[in-house]
Structures are given as C-alpha cells and as structure tokens.
Structure 1
C-alpha cells in the first residue's frame, strides 16, 4: 500500500470543500493500492512526509504568497526531509483571489530546493468562487493517486 499525503491549509468552508474534493478523487474506488490522508500544515510532521510516497500541498494565496501555515510546515520539515525524500512526487493547489503567481513561485522554489518532482502542474483556482474548482481538485487527487497506484511515480 502506498501513501498519498495531502498537506493543505483550509481556513474556510470553501477551502475545506477543496480539500475534501482532492481526498474524494484520491480515494476513487478503482484506485486500490493508495491510502490518501489529509493533515493540516500546522499538524503535519517530518515523519508524515518521510512515510509518504507522494504529496499534494494546498494553500490559500495570502498577500501574493503561500499561507503562513504551509510556510510553517516547510520550515519544520525542510531539513529533516531534504536528503531522504529527494524525488518525492508532488503537486499543488492554490485558492487564489488574485492570480496565484507569487504563491506558486514560492512553493515551487522550496520544492525545488527539496528536489521534489512535480507530478502535475500547479492547479490555481482564481477569482470568485466557482463550483468547477471542486471538479478540478477532485481530478488532481485522482490523477496523483492513480499515478501512484499504477507505478508511474
């Protein structure tokens, strides 16, 4: 059994719905060899990262940057995971009120330093809330979990 870790900041009802959609996609009934679990960034530990086979990160766009909670996760997990988890497949979803560019750039920079492998381009859900965001998040979770399931990652 492989583990897909979802580390996502969900400070609102809509962002929690996005996390739930990622989980729903990752737990598709035809994906049999992947266990997906969500941990909030403030509760995620280096041990969570060390035990996973892929990671999906989620954040709100805060002043053109990632949430403080996700930054705190990286601050605590960076060095304990640096040499051990090189090549970890990763993905990102962002709930952006503006364009999400700075948020993606910041997360991509840290993940590049960790030498993680982008399994999917960042999903940026921009502007006013749209129900389509949930479909996109579900597809992201399913894509990463299915890739783990069949051994692509």
Structure 2
C-alpha cells in the first residue's frame, strides 16, 4: 500500500473545509491501495515524509508568502529528507486572499532544492471564499491518490 501525506496549515473554518476535502478526495471509494495521512504543518516530521510516496502541501498565503507553520515544517525537515526523498511526487494547494504568486514562488524554490517533482498543476484558490474551492481541493486529493495508486508518480 502506498501512502499519501497531506501537510497543511488550517487556521480557519474555511481552510479546515479544504483540508477535509483533500482527505475525502484521497479516500475516494475507488482508491483502494493508497492510505492518506494528514498532519498539521506544525506536527509533521521528517519521518512522516520519509514514510510517504507522495505529498500534498497545503498553505494559506500570509503576507505574500507561505504560512509560518509550513515554513517551520521545511526548516525542520529539509536536510533530514534532502538526499532520501529526491523525486517525491508533490502537489500544492494555496488558499490565497490575493494572487498567491509569492507563495508559489517560495514553494517552487524550496521544492527545487529538495528535488521534489510537482506532478499536478498548482492549485491556487484566489480571492473571496467560494464554495467551489471545496470541490477543487477534493479533486486534487483524488488525482494525487489515483496517480499514486496506478504508479503514474
């Protein structure tokens, strides 16, 4: 069985809905050979990354950057996983009140250094809250889990 790790920062009821949708999508009834593990960015560890086959990073846009919690995750895990998880399948979900480009740029820089492979278009949910954001998050969870299950990534 493969493992999908979701590492996220959910400081609000809306972002908690997105987290639930990511997990729900990854646990679609048609997906049988992928287990999903969610860890908050403050609780996720290098051991969690080492144990997974794919990862979804979920962050809010904070002052044009990723959340401090996700940055803390990278600060703690970067070197312990650097040589061991090159090529890790990765997807990104950004909840951006503005445009999300600074957050995307920062994540791309870190992921380039880690040599993780972004396997899905980065999902940036921009502007005021929309109920359609939940479906987009669920779809991302489903696509990542399905890709892992069939060995695309």
TM-score normalised by length of structure 1: 0.99
RMSD: 0.4
Deviation at 1:108, TM superposition (A): 1.0
- Equivalence for 1:47: 47
- Equivalence for 2:114: 114
TM-score normalised by length of structure 2: 0.99
Pairs aligned (count): 153
Q: What runs of 5+ residues in structure 2 fail to find an aligned partner?
A: none
- Equivalence for 1:90: 90
Deviation at 1:72, TM superposition (A): 0.1
- Equivalence for 1:9: 9
- Equivalence for 2:62: 62
Secondary structure of the residue that 2:38 maps to in structure 1? strand
- Residue pairs, 1:130-149, within 5 angstroms: 130-149=130-149
Q: What runs of 5+ residues in structure 1 fail to find an aligned partner?
A: none
Q: Deviations over 1:47-92 (max 9, x none)?
A: 0000000000000000000000000000000000000000000000
